[in-house]
Amino acid sequence: QFTQRVFSGIQPSGGLTLGNYLGAMKRFVDMQGQDYETIYCMVDLHAITVWQDPAKLRHATRELCAGFIAAGIDPEQSILFNQSAVPEHAQLAWIFNCVARMGWMQRMTQFKDKAGKNAQNASLGLFAYPALMAADILIYHATHVPVGEDQKQHLELTRDIATKFNHDYGVDFFPITEPVIEGAATRVMSLRDGSKKMSKSDPSDASRINMTDDADTIAKKIRKAKTDPDALPSEAKGLENRPEARNLVNIYAALADMSVEAVLKDAGGKQFSEFKPILSELAVAKLAPISTEMARLTQDAGEIDKILDRGAERAREVAAPILKKTYEIVGM
Ligand code: ADP
Ligand code: NA
């Protein structure tokens, strides 16, 4: 009944990391040109749930758009736009704020992580973030959402909101969206601490590879990445209880489009002193062309703005009738 439609977004809240690339963007590119309509978004309304410097936010939004295109998103084939330029996201989010329950939000682990100890001092927007995310997805009746592992709970909440809306109003209007969490790098970990995910908001720059890092920086960060003293195992089960080792193998597998098993078939028995330079070389070979192109495209702000404006127009053509119908269902 529903068109096969992919939606996903990334926050323009700072530079892109290797985690964003492998867990999200690279997979957005893979889904483009399959049997889906693909809609990708810079989610600036999500970014401001934590204060952002306005000039930096504006730059980060354009740079992120450049990153999407440099990574292989074709703005003709996919709809590429900025969330705040399509007001239907925020309008549907209000309806969903009235559908979702306080208790559902209180269970969200990302809120607990981001709000930290002083949750009373977090913004109301940070608390309500998952209802806006549900609106981002459902304003397009998206059926598939590629994301990293950290978004799994939010996608379950999106399904709960769709189900409750359909039930409360006695309709079969919103689809029950499928999360698409696949591949070797659904959760890329910090290079300094195998128990934390790699994140653009980690205070330690050495913990992550940024898409804008040059070849020397990438090599240095990988050389200094935390590992254990043992050699690489020849089978995946040998990576159990070795989070740092597993992380580097997962990164290699995702960059090379190989399975972890296939990587270990070649690399099993190698020491990290030998494996790390091979990984660096692969990372540089895959990332350098993207970061060079991203930097080039970012310089032409006018062209980026044109692409985003056109994308927003196309997005509104899909979103506006769905919002109108939602209002009718609700009695407005
Ligand atoms: P961040 O957490 O870096 O601020 P976003 O919240 O904008 O990034 O998430 C954008 C996408 O990148 C989401 O699909 C998210 O699941 C994915 N992602 C973020 N960090 C990682 C990671 N370390 N490994 C895999 N995917 C990730
Ligand atoms: Na995230």
Mean pLDDT of 16-40: 95
Q: What is the percentage of the chain residues whose pLDDT exceeds 90?
A: 96
Rounded to the nearest integer, the mean pLDDT of the chain is 96
82 Cβ below 6 A of ligand 1: no
**Among the bound ligands, the one closest to the CA of 43:** 1
Give pLDDT tens digits for 92-132: 999 999 999 999 999 999 999 999 998 999 999 999 999 99
Query: Does the Cβ of 52 fall within 6 Å of ligand 1?
Result: no
Q: How confident is the model at residue 301 (pLDDT cuts 50, 70, 90)?
A: very high
Is the pLDDT at 150 greater than 70? The verdict is: yes
Residue 200 counted as an annotated binding residue:
yes
What's the pLDDT at 329?
Answer: 98
Rounded mean pLDDT, 125-152 = 97
Q: Is 199 annotated as a binding residue?
A: yes
Q: Which ligand places an atom closest to the C-alpha of 147?
A: 1
Q: Is 199 in the pocket of ligand 1 (CB under 6 A)?
A: yes
pLDDT given at position 1: 59
Among 114, 196, 220, 286, the active-site one is: 114
- Tell me the three-class secondary structure of the chain, residue by residue: CCCCEEEEEECCCCCCEHHHHHHHHHHHHHHCCCCCEEEEEECHHHHCCCCCCHHHHHHHHHHHHHHHHHHCCCCCCCEEEEHHHCCHHHHHHHHHHCCCCHHHHHCCHHHHHHHCCCHHHCCHHHHHHHHHHHHHHHCCCCCEEECCHHHHHHHHHHHHHHHHHHHHCCCCCCCCCEEECCCCCCCCECCCCCCCECCCCCCCHHHCCECCCCHHHHHHHHHCCCCCCCCCCCCHHHHCCCHHHHHHHHHHHHHHCCCHHHHHHHHCCCCHHHHHHHHHHHHHHHHHHHHHHHHHHHCCHHHHHHHHHHHHHHHHHHHHHHHHHHHHHHCC
Task: Tell me if 228 is assigned to a ligand binding site.
Answer: no
pLDDT for 201: 83
Whether residue 153 has pLDDT greater than 80: yes
Question: Which ipTM was obtained for this model?
Answer: 0.95
Annotated active-site residue 237? The verdict is no
Is the CB of residue 151 below 6 angstroms from any atom belonging to ligand 1? yes
pTM > 0.80? yes
**Could you tell me what percent of the chain has a pLDDT over 70?**
100
Delineate the domains of the chain, giving CATH numbers in brackets: 5-180+300-330 (3.40.50.620), 205-295 (1.10.240.10)
